[in-house]
Structure 1
Amino acid sequence: MTGESIKPQEIRTLTVLRGVAASWVVLFHFAGHFNLNLKSVTIIANGFLAVDLFFYLSGFIIFLVYFQGFERGRFRFFDFIKKRFARLYPVHFVTTVLIAGLFLVSAAAGIRPLPDTFNAYHFLINILMVHAWGLSGSLSFNYPSWSISAEMFAYALFPIMALFVLKFRLWIVGLTAFVLLSLLAIFAREWLGRPLVHLTYDFSILRILPEFLIGGWTYMVVRSLSRPSPTVVRIACAGSVLVTLVLFSVWEASVYMTLIFPVLIASLYLLETGREEQATPKGPAFLMLPYESLVYLGKISYSLYMIHAFFEMTCFSVIEKVFDHPADAVPLFWLFPVMILTFVGAAIVYELVEKPGRKYTLGVLVGRKS
């Protein structure tokens, strides 16, 4: 341990939030396959904005874990990148290869032709995790993994962001981050022809940068404030959840809507850390079970996010072929079993790939446990 990071206890409320966000993305992607137009439901149609929630949350957590070491001069950039790589790469590699195999099998069986992006170039930029850096003209292979490419870009710039936060007052950092978000939103619409929150393969690195910085700034604000009373925290938490539900149930997607996410993250963080300080006893087991299930869903959220495209491609194709349903017109009752199967698959990937893969990769790159 070089001292470049701290090891806070798991923030279980934020773990639950990750699970909810990943499930929201899955529902958004699955919604187009049914005989009912689920995307006419605004909160489902806005499900792709859960990726922005991940970006804000990522900035918050990275600053929580690493900023203290940075300001004390104990941050080691290459150790940091190795750990981030070990966190993301094993699942990314396995799911990319798995999707490639699925494409080959589907083409050989005459189910669907190989996509135009099925070539050595797109496979290489996917394997190198640079496929969201404006190097491709479309999504390719495991299509949700564009956000992992964007995450690696933000990680590479973390020291610059941390130095900026260290050298300037928080109000200047916050104002700069908001101005950056606004300028990039204008640039995306005027020069790239797409709203900022719709950028994926086409320079989503612009999408993550202000959100990651705002997430980190949010943690710094929370750290600098006197801890509010538990009642204030509960009210803020309930209010941010309610406002989030209303916003995303009523209005169409906008990058400015996502600014509720840092408030939600901060209030959930304070809720959990306040509980730890008060040593609140747990309730009866039958009341804790649903919450523990949500915590586990959060733990497998990365695997869920990365494997759900495989289940989307396979499950709906099989259902359409076996039960003779028209393409993208599957009866809605199939939603529940497909979601359950996807969650089970994610748990398997988490236990067999993500956890051991992270440990093995860290052992190779860092030579010690993290």
Structure 2
Amino acid sequence: MRHIREYDGLRGIMAIWVLLGHFTSSIFLSIPHIPANLSNRQAVDVFIILSGFAIAVLIDRSHEPYGIYIARRALRIFPVYWVYLSASVAITLLLPFVWQDAPAGAMKEARSHILASSISYFWPNIATHIPALHSLIPDRIIPQGEYAFLGQAWSISLEWQFYLIAPFVIPALLAARRSWSMALGLLAVFLVLAFIGRAMPMGFVGRYAIFFAIGIATHHLLNWQKTRSIQISTIATIAIFVIGALVLLRVPSVLPISIWVAVSACVLAHINAYKSRLSQLLTSRVALWIGERSYSVYLAHMIPLTIGMNALEKAGIEEPITHAVSLLIITVLGTAALAYLSFRWIEQPFQRLGKQLSTRAQQAPA
């Protein structure tokens, strides 16, 4: 199967959605009937589906030993994560009152509480964030610990949990298609995870099993259709029917799932020699540039946003439009610069190191 560039572009657009949501919840302006944070957690839901798809592809193609697989995953997420975690800890210590002193913004109170808790439980937060296990710690043990320092990294912990178990779960899902006992066993596991999840933080992997499963199922759907030709009208009809059913049934998280269905329909159409307008948008140079650096964008953007808030507070800029435009410029330009640098000097070198480990393992004598 060809590399699916539409999903790369989708990743970039979702990263921008998260950035804009955090920006809009930090300004004085508001738009009636539109959530202050643009419901940007739904963009994270799409990221989670993407992760399920990408890991299913990796496991299906590489057949790596578990040690090599998890080492590559660790090299992919931890180096740049630790850099931005360190920078965020430093900002927390240097600007402890930045959100408390902010004149307005929908997230002012929540961010002030998170900042205070990050400092009050400083060392427990450090200890759980370094191995990215902070989304496993209940709020009653470390209050707000899931969002301490680098708030958006709650989903990094979630993805790391998935990476740890994926080589066992994905083959089991395949086996379940041929074995009733395996299917019943997996159903029991999902029920247990759902029960446990009620007492666990938002980033507990069991809460997102359905999203990972959608991504995994998409990989097998695309594999299934490789040797088949599907009419574009059929793809469009099925996609519209599925999205319509999701809306009518009021399925939770209907928006991220519908986004995934629409984009995957475009992918199927492109595989069958038709490139839609949406496909063209997702594979544009801008979308692909951001998509390639989306992990850095996702981790970096709160740093220039926080520094920008502090600078605007000190400058006494409170006029809503001037404040919003200034903060947007600082956030976008700062994020672009940080993402460019961390992608080039951290992400890419460690990705190459991971590939070298895999190559050496494959070339080693049995």
- Give the TM-score taking structure 1 as reference length: 0.74
Q: 1:340 to 1:242 in 2, by over 3 A?
A: farther
Instruction: Report the equivalent of 1:66.
Output: 59
Q: 1:343 to 1:236 in 2, by over 3 A?
A: farther
| Uncovered stretches (5+) of structure 2, i.e. residues with no partner | 102-111
Instruction: Report the equivalent of 1:32.
Output: 25
Amino acid at match of 2:305: E
- Aligned with residue 323 of structure 1, among 300, 308, 316: 316
Question: For 1:335 and 1:110, how far apart are their aligned partners in 2?
Answer: 14
Instruction: Report the equivalent of 1:254.
Output: 252
Instruction: Report the equivalent of 2:163.
Output: 155
Instruction: Report the equivalent of 1:146.
Output: 154
Question: For 2:254 and 2:183, how far apart are their aligned partners in 1?
Answer: 14
The answer to whether 1:123 aligns with 2:126 is yes
Instruction: Report the equivalent of 1:338.
Output: 330
The alpha-carbon deviation at position 224 of structure 1 amounts to 1.9
The answer to whether 1:82 aligns with 2:33 is no
User: Which range moves more in the overlay, 150-159 or 353-362?
Assistant: 353-362
Amino acid at match of 1:337: I
Q: 1:96 to 1:163 in 2, by over 3 A?
A: same
Question: For 1:165 and 1:80, how far apart are their aligned partners in 2?
Answer: 19
Instruction: Report the equivalent of 1:267.
Output: 265
Question: For 2:2 and 2:99, how far apart are their aligned partners in 1?
Answer: 50
The alpha-carbon deviation at position 174 of structure 1 amounts to 9.9
Identity level (%):
21
Amino acid at match of 2:289: Y
Instruction: Report the equivalent of 1:98.
Output: 87
Question: For 2:137 and 2:131, how far apart are their aligned partners in 1?
Answer: 14
The alpha-carbon deviation at position 116 of structure 1 amounts to 2.6
Instruction: Report the equivalent of 2:104.
Output: none
- Aligned with residue 50 of structure 2, among 42, 46, 57: 57
Alpha carbons 1:144, 1:306 under 8 Å: kept = yes
Q: Deviations over 1:248-294 (max 9, x none)?
A: xxx9993354432442353243244445xx9x9xxxxxx99991111
Alpha carbons 1:145, 1:306 under 8 Å: kept = yes
User: Which range moves more in the overlay, 230-239 or 333-342?
Assistant: 230-239
Q: 1:313 to 1:85 in 2, by over 3 A?
A: same
The answer to whether 1:167 aligns with 2:156 is no
The alpha-carbon deviation at position 102 of structure 1 amounts to 1.1
Secondary structure of the structure 2 residue equivalent to 1:254: coil
The alpha-carbon deviation at position 230 of structure 1 amounts to 6.0
Q: Deviations over 1:2-26 (max 9, x none)?
A: xxxxxx6532111000001111111
Question: For 1:319 and 1:230, how far apart are their aligned partners in 2?
Answer: 55
The answer to whether 1:215 aligns with 2:215 is yes
Question: For 1:333 and 1:243, how far apart are their aligned partners in 2?
Answer: 37
The alpha-carbon deviation at position 35 of structure 1 amounts to 1.9
The alpha-carbon deviation at position 83 of structure 1 amounts to 0.8
Question: For 1:26 and 1:110, how far apart are their aligned partners in 2?
Answer: 17
The alpha-carbon deviation at position 211 of structure 1 amounts to 1.5
Question: For 1:233 and 1:338, how far apart are their aligned partners in 2?
Answer: 46
Secondary structure of the structure 2 residue equivalent to 1:46: coil
Q: Deviations over 1:126-166 (max 9, x none)?
A: 11110111254312111111111111111111122222222
Question: For 2:93 and 2:9, how far apart are their aligned partners in 1?
Answer: 36
Q: 1:14 to 1:99 in 2, by over 3 A?
A: same
Amino acid at match of 2:208: I
Instruction: Report the equivalent of 1:284.
Output: none
The answer to whether 1:235 aligns with 2:236 is yes
Figure out how many residues of one structure are paired with residues of the other and give that number: 336
Question: For 2:39 and 2:98, how far apart are their aligned partners in 1?
Answer: 35
The alpha-carbon deviation at position 170 of structure 1 amounts to 8.2
Alpha carbons 1:32, 1:39 under 8 Å: kept = no
Q: 1:84 to 1:50 in 2, by over 3 A?
A: same
Q: 1:46 to 1:236 in 2, by over 3 A?
A: farther
The alpha-carbon deviation at position 92 of structure 1 amounts to 0.4
Q: 1:182 to 1:166 in 2, by over 3 A?
A: closer
The alpha-carbon deviation at position 41 of structure 1 amounts to 1.6
Q: 1:179 to 1:229 in 2, by over 3 A?
A: farther
- Aligned with residue 22 of structure 1, among 12, 15, 20: 15
Instruction: Report the equivalent of 1:313.
Output: 306
Q: 1:340 to 1:117 in 2, by over 3 A?
A: closer
Amino acid at match of 2:47: F
Alpha carbons 1:219, 1:266 under 8 Å: kept = no
The answer to whether 1:137 aligns with 2:137 is no
The alpha-carbon deviation at position 66 of structure 1 amounts to 1.7
Instruction: Report the equivalent of 1:3.
Output: none
The alpha-carbon deviation at position 54 of structure 1 amounts to 0.7
Q: 1:231 to 1:84 in 2, by over 3 A?
A: same
Instruction: Report the equivalent of 2:38.
Output: 45
The alpha-carbon deviation at position 44 of structure 1 amounts to 5.5
The alpha-carbon deviation at position 227 of structure 1 amounts to 3.6
